[in-house]
Structure 1
């Protein structure tokens, strides 16, 4: 019997290049090849930003989690306090990012990463978690819904400097 060498752990600064690679591949798959180029992002610049962020999180409850296949980053997620205007700071945590390498889906990495995020948020004392998902991303929304998350009726539209917009819906789940 062969056992896969897969895991999830808190990210280290040394994981920055792996996270940047997953993020860029995800953006290219989700939007189009021009998104990263349009914003002047390359793997080295993105990795440097991740390295700095991972070295100095804003507070102890802000964490980056990485899903690993052997020692290779195949997904990442961010957890921390929910900063939405209607959030209860004592009770509401947020999974601010949830990305699995598009070449590594359907391998259980997303499930392990999601469970690690939920466990981390609960350990930090949050009783509810939220996550913003692209309204057009049926796969991510179906995945979260199958794991017990549900839309709570909130939505938002994000715009970048070029005026391109992405509509998002908020999902939530109880942690206890």
Structure 2
């Protein structure tokens, strides 16, 4: 006999006050798992989880303007990933390392695209750190590709390059 619950096993919803702690924890864990070689252990160890949490709290409770939103992926009641969008831009998309390869990233990207479309966007872009083959494979599979624009980021330890990826939505 199947057991039915009042909520879906997996879902994506708008972030609500209180999700900020989970979002910050996921960001720090995902960055440490994915970017240790590129950003360097020193840069990752210096991440201030409380400062990151406060930034996500502000993004969730007081977005900087129209078109900004934070979405969270849930597995039952647990937040396991997040996406943040701004006008025509996917600002961030991370899934907890323990929940990766379970479809949460795809659900988040789909919900982010739906949100961008509902805000009138017909194109979207995002920035991808160079030397991140998993993210490149994910975005390639979703129909995004590099559009030739790059930027350098100073991490305090070394400069890293990001490439902008975009797609018509």
- TM-score higher than 0.5 here? yes
Q: CA deviation at 1:47?
A: 2.0
More displaced stretch, 149-158 vs 122-131: 149-158
Aligned partners of 1:27 and 1:35 also within 8 Å: no
Aligned partners of 2:59 and 2:70 also within 8 Å: no
**CA offset digits 1:100-140 (Å, max 9, x no partner):** 11111110101100100111100100010001111111111
Q: CA deviation at 1:163?
A: 4.2
What is the RMSD of the two structures over their aligned residues, measured on CA atoms?
1.8
Cα distance between partner residues in 2 of 1:49 and 1:167: 23
Check if 1:50 corresponds to 2:56.
yes
More displaced stretch, 24-33 vs 95-104: 24-33
- Correspondence for 1:171: 165
Aligned partners of 2:24 and 2:53 also within 8 Å: yes
Aligned partners of 2:72 and 2:83 also within 8 Å: yes
Structure 2: unaligned runs, 5 residues or longer? none
Cα distance between partner residues in 2 of 1:55 and 1:159: 29
Aligned partners of 1:135 and 1:167 also within 8 Å: yes
Task: Describe the SS at the equivalent of 1:133.
Answer: strand
Task: Describe the SS at the equivalent of 1:58.
Answer: coil
Task: Describe the SS at the equivalent of 2:131.
Answer: coil
- Correspondence for 1:87: none
Aligned residue pairs, count: 161
From 11, 23, 30, the equivalent of 2:27 is 23
Determine which structure has greater relative contact order: mean sequence separation of CA pairs < 8 Å that are 6+ residues apart, divided by chain length. 2
Provide TM-score, normalisation by structure 2: 0.87
Cα distance between partner residues in 1 of 2:90 and 2:112: 7
Cα distance between partner residues in 1 of 2:82 and 2:68: 13
Provide TM-score, normalisation by structure 1: 0.84
- Correspondence for 2:14: 10
Q: CA deviation at 1:36?
A: 3.9
